[in-house]
Amino acid sequence: MKYLRLIAITLVVTLSFAFIEGENKQFEISKNLEIFTNIYKELNTHYVDDVDPSRLMRIGIEAMLETLDPYTNYISESDIESYRYMSAGKYDGIGANVRKIGNYVTIVEPFEGGPAVAAGLRAGDKIVEVDGRDAKGKKADEVNDVLKGFPGTEVKIKILRPGEEAEREVVVKRDEVDVKNVPYYGMLNDDIGYLILTTFTGSAGKNVAAAIRALKTDHPQMKGLIFDLRDNGGGYLREAVSISNLFIPKDEVVVTTKGKVRDRDRSFKTMEQPAVPELPLVVLTNKYTASASEIVSGVLQDLDRGVILGDKTYGKGLVQNTVDLEYNAKLKLTTAKYYIPSGRCIQSVSYQDGEPVDIPDDQRASFKTRGGRKVLDGGGIIPDVETGKEDQVAIIRFLVENDLIFHFATEYRLKHEDIGPAKDFVFTDFDDFVDFIENKQIDFKTKTEKELDQLIDAAESDHLDELIVEQVNDIRSKISQEKSDDLIENKDEIVALIEREIVSRYHYQTGRSEKTLQNDRDVKQAMEILSDPEVYNRYLRRN
């Protein structure tokens, strides 16, 4: 009886403290909400200048959410269309990516089969006016907001096409644009297939399954598959489970989610028999492979089902749910972490400027794959074969950042009506490209040259410029010669970028993918692994 009495007293005390703590927390919430509301009212009523109430509140909300992880976000009513595109791969508009280049928002990639292509718009077209409103100097988001609209409605766009003096008026009928999450699949040779998935939006699992089924039907001799998840930022968890199920047996646990509310913890299992349970598989990853992409690559690694090749992935092991708010707004908030079959969570534990901070391997917990291979948690999936990406040399980075290859491809399209099949196109006019760059007369300065400019400025301030100007000019002359040589020394890589950009002007996303594969080092290494069963099995320790 004494023990029972002691237990009862302990329970009462514990519940009392919990009740008091809960009451205190509710009081703190009520108190701070009242303070926040009063400050908001005072600013709107008495601040010396006019205040936009919506903007002010949004800043407050976003500042609050910034103290949490980067994936807990407020989505206002005006952002819903962009949210729909990110979550479902669909939006209502003209079907084109746009970017501000110079003074004008420019069409950089019309989507194959979309309204923009049907209306005759091309990459490189500058948007001068939209529905009678001047677009010069506008931001890409501002123009995009006007281009989007209900399916069936029309938008009048005035464009200036490079190479033409007169502006064109183009009428585009908006439609629901469904951006393909499997933009390309095909055979790389007689034995090895290739499939790229860009996002885990709705029907991703169904589309990947259809692509694999088509490859198997048309090429029954297929002996290996390269599954490209590079630059795939993730999406729906259910699609990650569905895609994993294509490669692993029924009733396997793919992922377990664990959060604050234990009753909501769940395990997700495969529900079907796999489409290709034994087909040798190489999964390509890079530092932008994130979330659902990391679930799939991590599951296949944990179960020793495929070789992961490329760069370490991003490190996002968090689950988000979306809550509907008043006035068509939404709150996307993190509710759980996910854990893959080995028991590890790949979530990065800290962030800097919204990006995950690299975690040293000796600070990451160790786990085992089903076959006994060592794998680590926290901070992404480390590939079985790390290839690494060399940093772009300065001249190539300069060409890309200044859209010079983009502009050259635009001019090339004006002069050439057709280029034939994407995979057969070969760019042989490199001298024309060099002349194009020289005629642009854009001053390309290396990091060293910029530092020399700073040195001269400092020397002038100290009245020492006469002592060093001759030596600096000599260095500049040598750098100038090196820069002219850089174009020739990096010709092969530059030509590969030019070919990819030109091909996209005629064959859109499908053609770009086909051409990119021909010069992809990771793809070539994956093909070598799949072509040698002994090497493939050694990576998976299946001797």
Query: Which superfamily is assigned to 184-389 in CATH?
Result: 2-enoyl-CoA Hydratase; Chain A, domain 1 (3.90.226.10)
Catalytic-residue membership of 316: yes
Catalytic-residue membership of 223: no
Inform me whether the pLDDT recorded for 296 exceeds 80: yes
Inform me whether the pLDDT recorded for 19 exceeds 60: no
Residue extents of the structural domains in the chain: 31-67, 90-178, 184-389, 394-522
Catalytic-residue membership of 291: yes
Binning pLDDT at 50, 70 and 90, where does residue 262 land?
A: confident
CB 315 within 8 A of CB 346: yes
The predicted-structure confidence for 430-461, as pLDDT tens digits, reads as follows 999 988 987 876 655 555 666 666 777 776 67
Inform me whether the pLDDT recorded for 314 exceeds 80: yes
Mean pLDDT of the residues in the chain: 84
CATH number (3.30.1360.200, 3.30.420.10, 3.40.50.620, 2.30.42.10) of 90-178 reads 2.30.42.10
Q: Residue ranges of the alpha helices (H) in 314-442?
A: 394-401, 404-415, 430-440
Query: Mean pLDDT: which of 154-158, 346-350, 489-493, 512-516 is highest?
Result: 154-158
94: left (phi over 0), alpha (psi -120 to 50) or beta: alpha
CB 91 within 8 A of CB 83: no
Share of the chain above pLDDT 70, in %: 82
Tell me the residue ranges of DSSP E strands in 450-496.
Answer: none
Q: Which of 297, 325, 321, 291 is closest to 311 using CA atoms?
A: 297
Binning pLDDT at 50, 70 and 90, where does residue 83 land?
A: very low
Binning pLDDT at 50, 70 and 90, where does residue 86 land?
A: very low
Q: Which of 187, 178, 282 is closest to 230 using CA atoms?
A: 282
Share of the chain above pLDDT 90, in %: 48
Binning pLDDT at 50, 70 and 90, where does residue 172 land?
A: very high
Chain centroid, CA 382 distance in Å: 18
Task: Please give the structure tokens belonging to residue 520.
Answer: 């992809």
pTM (2 d.p.): 0.74
Q: Which of 126, 138, 228, 291 is catalytic?
A: 291
Inform me whether the pLDDT recorded for 350 exceeds 60: yes
In this prediction, residue 426 carries a pLDDT of 95
Average pLDDT, integer, range 387-404: 79
In this prediction, residue 251 carries a pLDDT of 96
Average pLDDT, integer, range 368-387: 92
**Start-to-end C-alpha separation, the chain:** 64
In this prediction, residue 85 carries a pLDDT of 46
Average pLDDT, integer, range 491-515: 93
Q: Which of 92, 125, 175, 302 is catalytic?
A: 302
Q: Which of 316, 377, 384, 486 is catalytic?
A: 316
In this prediction, residue 421 carries a pLDDT of 94
Tell me the CB-side half-sphere exposure of residue 47, using CA atoms within 13 A: 12
